[in-house]
Homo-oligomer: A and B are copies of this chain.
Amino acid sequence: MHKKPGISEAEWEVMKVLWGKSPQSSNAIVAILEGKRNWQPKTIRTLINRLVSKNAVGFEKDGRQYNYYPLLNEQECIQAETRSLIDRIRGKAIKPLLATFLEEESLSPEDIAELKEILENRT
């Protein structure tokens, strides 16, 4: 039994563009991503098509062109990835992982305060 396919790493880049603004034409998506990743336009179109196949992205026709928009919620996708990582290391020390996050990422003072509060309440 094969498991439901998720959104691949490359496809995530497209989702992020659409979560940032939607709907957008493939041209617009291509323009944005060509700068960030070293991808050919054809490659980016393939990714868009795959996301449509996966029902992660929908589109409306505007004459001959399509305008794409996300069908999945950003926060839910992030949570799904997070849970996937948690599952992967389940049974192992979660702390070093968290430490990596806390050290590497830019958090606002408010974020930090809020996270501290979560930790307090867990004790």
State the A residues within 8 Å of B (CB).
9, 12, 16, 19, 74-75, 78-79, 81-86, 88-89, 91-107, 109, 111-112, 114-116, 118-120, 122-123
Contact = CB atoms under 8 A, between A and B. Distances in A.
B92 A78 contact: yes
5 contacts: A81-B88, A94-B106, A98-B102, A99-B115, A116-B120
Return the 5 tightest CB-CB contacts between A and B, nearest first.
A95-B111, A94-B105, A82-B100, A102-B118, A82-B97
A51 to B, nearest CB: 15
Given A85-B82, A112-B123, A119-B115, A101 B91 contact: no
A99 to B, nearest CB: 6
